[in-house]
Amino acid sequence: MMKYKHLGRTGLQVSRVALGTMNFGELTGETASFKIMDTALEAGINFFDTADVYGGPQSPDMEKGFGTSEEIIGRWLARGGRRDRIVLATKVYQPMGTGPNDRCLSAYHIRRACEDSLRRLQTDHIDLYQMHHVDRRTPWDEIWQAMEQLVREGKVTYVGSSNFAGWDIATAQSVAASRNFLGLASEQSLYNLSTRTVELEVIPALRYYGIGLIPWSPIGMGLLGGAIKKASEGRKATPLLQMRIEQHRSQLEKYEALCRELGEEPADVALAWLLHNPAVTAPIVGPRTAEQLTRSLRSLEISLSDETIRRLDEIWPGPGGEAPKAYAW
C-alpha cells in the first residue's frame, strides 16, 4: 500500500515515491509513457514531476523534443478523470528558445513559461511550480512578484526550487516572509548514497524552514542499481557510468555484497535509505518501463536497521555531518 507524506510544512500530501518523466518522449515513447502513468496511478503514486525542457536534448538549438514530456502528460490527462487525482509538478528556468528572455527567472519569462506549460499539459493549473535552478541575476522581489501573481490567478498552487544552495533557500524565504508569501514548499536536490553534499547546508536549511526535500537521481544515474552485477552479465553501461564504476569499484563491491546479504536489490536499498531520512519527502524515480516502476515500489517495504544504516555510512560516507561541525568543530 502506498504511503504519503506532507510536502514540507504544507497541508499537501504526496506519495512517498514521485514519478519522474524526464524519459518521456526521448527514451520512452508515448504508449509506454501512458502505461507508466497508468501503473503509477494504480499503485497510489499521486506525485508526477516533469519540466518544460524534458523530452529531448535539453538545448534550444535542437528542433525536436522540447516540451514533449509535458505534451505526453497533457494528452494522458485529456483522457479525463485523472487531473484531480495527481499532484502535478513542472519547472521553469532552462532555455526554451534562443532569445535573450527565453530562459532564467525574470518575471517576463516566468509568465510566458507558465502559460506555455499549461497549454502543453492541457490543464488550468500547476500544483507545484519549481524553479529549475537559482537565478542570482534576478531580484527575489521580482521572482516572488511573478509567482504571487500566478498564485492569485489560480495557475499555480505551490512554488518549489531545484538545485538551490542552502543560502539561496534562506535568502528566498527571508524575502518571501517580508512579502507575507508562503515561499518555497519544496526543494529538489541531487541526493543519493554516493552524493551527499546536501547534508552540509541544504538539508539543515530545509529543516529550519519546513521545506520538503525531493531527491533526484536517487540511484546515482545507475551507479547504485547493481552496476557491477549488470556489467558482469554483459549489460553495456554509458561511458560516464563506466567511468564512475571504476572510480567507486571498491565501494560498489562492498555495497552490492551488503545488498545480497540483505536479500534486496541495490536500487531498492538506495531508495529505502533515502526514505529512511525524515527530511526526505519523496525520491523521484524515472522509469523507462512500467515494469521498472513496479519494481521500485519494493523500496517502500524495506526497513533498514540501525546496523545496516551504519554499514551503509561506512561504505558511502557523507560529508561528516552538518556545517560547520563537519569541518570546523
pLDDT higher than 90, residue 318: yes
Which helix (H) or strand (E) segment holds residue 226: the answer is: none
List Cβ neighbours of 138 (8 Å cut-off, separation of 6 or more): 104, 105, 106
Q: What is the distance between the alpha carbons of residues 288 and 264, in angstroms, rounded to a whole number?
A: 21
Q: What is the phi/psi pair of residue 128, to 5°?
A: -135, 110
Place 60 in a pLDDT band, splitting at 50, 70 and 90. low
DSSP states along 165-202: -HHHHHHHHHHHHHTT---EEEEEEE-BTTB-GGGTTH
Three cell numbers at 283?
525520491
Quick one: pLDDT at residue 234?
A: 81
Catalytic residue annotation:
54
Quick one: pLDDT at residue 231?
A: 85
In the chain the beta strands, taken as DSSP E runs, fall at: 4-6, 13-15, 18-20, 47-49, 87-92, 126-131, 156-162, 184-190, 212-216, 284-285
Q: What is the phi/psi pair of residue 285, to 5°?
A: -105, 135
Q: What is the 8-class DSSP label of residue 47?
A: E
Helix (H, G, I), strand (E, B), or coil: what is residue 93? Answer: coil
Q: Are 294 and 43 in contact (CB under 8 A)?
A: yes
What structural domains does the chain harbor?
A: 4-223+265-304 (3.20.20.100)
List Cβ neighbours of 76 (8 Å cut-off, separation of 6 or more): 33, 34, 37, 82
pTM for this predicted structure: 0.96
| Segment 204-239, tens digit of pLDDT | 999 999 999 999 999 999 999 999 998 888 888 888
| Segment 289-302, tens digit of pLDDT | 999 999 999 999 99
